[in-house]
Amino acid sequence: MIISLIGMPGCGKSTIGKVLAQQLGLNLLDTDGLIEAQENQTLQQIVDARGNIAFRAIEEQVLTAMPLSPSVISTGGSVVYSEKIMARLSATSLVVYLRARLETIEYRVSLAPQRGIAAEGQQTLSDLYAERVPLYERYGEVVIDCDDDTPESIADTLAKTVAKTTTKNRA
């Protein structure tokens, strides 16, 4: 079983992914970590030095080439811009949209100001939210709200939902 988590920065993909992977006995694959390891730079360094378009090209290359095995995949917030990435994830995994309100995202991102967020020029977090939410809704086969519950509670809910959804034939 492969579960891909998508959503805005700060929605909980890494935190919930870690708990969910432990609950299900799967590995956690953090795609931002794969990109940073390949490029030997942080995401923000890549965006600052090469720009957002170059970052997205690197992201697409890494995510379309990474080996897939039973795991929980915590993706970067910008994966939904790539039809190639999303086609691959949709074909091989259950894509789960971790939904959170803009206010929740703004608060959580403010707690980690050093985190890199792939944005064009002067785009605000609100701009990105408005742009990305329709894409998350398009690709998310399962939607889980992540504003008020603990990561453990959200992972529990997700594990139960996944158990009901495993009738879909997955790689």
Measured between alpha carbons, how far is 108 from 100 in angstroms, rounded to an integer?
10
**Residue 57 DSSP label:** H
Does 131 fall in a domain? yes
Does 100 fall in a domain? yes
Task: Give the DSSP H or E segment for 38.
Answer: helix 31-39
**Residue 163 DSSP label:** H
Dihedrals φ, ψ of 8, to 5°? -65, 155
pLDDT at 121 over 80: no
**Domain count along the chain:** 1
Q: 51 CB contacts (<8 Å, ≥6 apart)?
A: none
CATH number for the domain spanning 18: value is 3.40.50.300
Does 70 fall in a domain? yes
Q: Which of 92, 81, 100, 69 is nearest to 141 (CA)?
A: 92
Percent of the chain with pLDDT over 90: 68
CA torsion angle for 14, 167, 156, 99 (degrees, to 10)? 50
The residue range of the domain holding 12 is 2-165
Write down the pTM of the prediction.
0.89
pLDDT at 50 over 50: yes
Q: How confident is the model at residue 123 (pLDDT cuts 50, 70, 90)?
A: confident
Does 114 fall in a domain? yes
In sequence order, the β-bridge partners of residue 27 are: 71
Does 171 fall in a domain? no
Does 6 fall in a domain? yes
Indicate the average pLDDT of the chain.
89
Dihedrals φ, ψ of 104, to 5°? -65, -45
Q: Which of 20, 28, 25 is nearest to 158 (CA)?
A: 20
Does 107 fall in a domain? yes
Question: What pLDDT, on a 0 to 100 scale, did the predictor assign at position 124?
Answer: 83
Does 170 fall in a domain? no
More confident residue, 119 or 58: 58
Question: What pLDDT, on a 0 to 100 scale, did the predictor assign at position 170?
Answer: 46
Write out pLDDT tens, residues 129-167. 999 999 999 999 999 999 989 999 999 999 988 887 764
